[in-house]
Amino acid sequence: MKQINRPPFQHFVIETQETAENLNSLQWLKDKTEKLLGQLEITTVTNIYHKFKPVGISLVYILSSSHIAIHTWPEDRYLHIDLITCIKNPLANKIERIAKSVFKGNTIKIYEFKY
C-alpha cells in the first residue's frame, strides 16, 4: 500500500463537565471557544452551529490553520472539543494550562493524538 503524504498537524481532544444551562447556551459556548482560540493564538475564519431540540449544540470553527469542532450534551453535563491545527507552534506544552484557565474549576481531560 502506498504511503499517505500527510502535512504536519496537531490533534487534541478536550473533555470537561459543565452546567446544563451553559452547555445549551450558544453565546456561552462561542465566548469560551473564542477565548480558548485567542489564548492559543489561533486565527478563526468563520463558524457555523446547530442547536438540537430539546438540548445540545454543535459548533464548528474554520481556522486559518484547520478546524475546531465543539459538541455539547447538556443532559450529561458533557463538553467535547476536537481541535486539529497545522500551526507551527507546538501546543502540547500550553493547551492544558490554557484550557484550565478558560474552563475554570472544571476537571479537564486532554488527549493528544499522534499520527
Catalytic residues, by residue number, are 66, 71, 86
Say what the alpha-carbon torsion angle 112, 24, 40, 99 is, to the nearest 10 degrees: -60
8 Å CB contact between 46 and 62: yes
> What would the DSSP string read from start to end of 45-107?
EEEEEEE-SSS-EEEEEEETTEEEEEEEEGGGTEEEEEEEE--SS--TTTHHHHHHHHTTTS-
